[in-house]
Amino acid sequence: MGDVKKRSLFSWLLFDLANTVYAFIIPGLYFSVWLVSEKGWTDQQLGLATSSAMIIVAILGPWIGRKSDSSEGKKKLLLIMTLLCIISTFLLGTFTVEVSVLLFVISLIGFNLGSVVYDALIVSVSNSENRGKISGLGVAFGYTGSLIGFGVATLLQNNGYSYEEIFKSVALLFLIFSLPAFFFIEEKIVSSKKIKTSILSSLNIVIKSWKHSREYEGLTRFLIGRFFYADAINTLISGLLAVYLVEEVGLTPGDSQNILALAIVVSIIGGYIFGKAADLYGPRKLILTSILCWIVSLSLAIIATEFDQLWLIYVTGVLGGFNIGGIFAVDRVFMTRLSPEIHLGEFYGLYSTVGRFATIIGPILWGLIVNTLNLSRNFAMGSLIVLLIISFFIISGVSDKTNQSINKK
């Protein structure tokens, strides 16, 4: 691999590190705890804020993906979405709580739309033989970013800095580590056409992309299966897991942060191992294995709280951490197996839409169980296990013996 290609790959990996600093610290931990435990908002209100952002992402995702497939390329769109996320994150806590929630919603929109473009850039830094390994490295870099963000945030908090100052530090870290991507990634342009499309046509694009996906064997079924496991996992990492550990398990914010830090360390290993294994055994087997491990992990969390066996929470942290790194390393590889490169941006937009719709429903369901039905958060956790079981049976029926080729029905 030449110096230019190495620099391009390293810059792509650094962006994964950068945006995971945001994903873990802001929605995954500090903003959620700040909003619920410090400002007195409910799980349902947090869930509605997250879901409102995901509705917008679900609408705009296919438009962004299709636009990125044109001759204009992906890096310009990635820059715009990244700056949207960074600026709104920097301003969190500066104004009233209500304005901060609005800024939080905007930051989620920028982050998630940027992820649509970023994921599709994997074809510019990898080939069909090493794509699983590269994706796994990206996840490993990403969770290294979580450790860096967690370390900086913990250091600031222990030295008396406020949540608002932690939010600003995360925005700066995102900016610093994302910059190389915009200068050094050598983008592979897969189309010479300039695609004209409007935001208002997004719904039509979703329908057309969904119909288009049915031309490629297994793609639609995989996306349906992904909806269910993404619903379960994204609901937790949207911040409700941090709230669960503090409010249901009874841990202090510091103890919950330690468990999540342990999960991050293990996720780095999981992402790398799953990524390499995907090249050897295929992504389908790895996704199914990961779903089973998630079912076990969430079951252990319920047992730990119901029977006061808090040591099991640490087992849950290790198992969950290993598999969150694993499943997100291999599911985007599965997309490249089931999708042709020329339509990869379009189908990643659809992939994003499926995931974001899942993130709409999950937090609302959680809030309904906890705040409307007044049931414990363990019932909400149990609902996520049901979703994972459904996902397992759907994806069991997908073949990954496509070998990166376009297999039309």
Task: Confirm whether 245 is domain-assigned.
Answer: yes
pLDDT score for 1? 54
* Among the listed residues 124, 113, 53, 118, the one whose alpha carbon sits nearest the alpha carbon of residue 352: 113
Query: Number of folded domains in the chain?
Result: 1
Task: Confirm whether 34 is domain-assigned.
Answer: yes
Task: Confirm whether 111 is domain-assigned.
Answer: yes
* CA quadruple 388, 391, 397, 400: dihedral sign: negative
Task: Confirm whether 186 is domain-assigned.
Answer: no
Task: Confirm whether 58 is domain-assigned.
Answer: yes
Record the pTM: 0.76
| Average pLDDT value for the chain | 84
CATH number at residue 220: 1.20.1250.20
pLDDT tens-digit readout, 287-302: 999 999 999 999 999 9
Greatest C-alpha distance within the chain = 61
Q: Which domain holds residue 263?
A: 7-179+210-395
| Residue 190 reports pLDDT greater than 80 | no
Task: Confirm whether 343 is domain-assigned.
Answer: yes
Task: Confirm whether 384 is domain-assigned.
Answer: yes
Res. 252 pLDDT band, cuts 50 70 90? confident
Percent above pLDDT 70 for the chain: 91
Task: Confirm whether 200 is domain-assigned.
Answer: no
Chain CA centroid to CA 253, Å? 23
**Six-digit token string for 175:** 């900016």
The helices-and-strands tally (H runs, E runs) of the chain is 15, 0
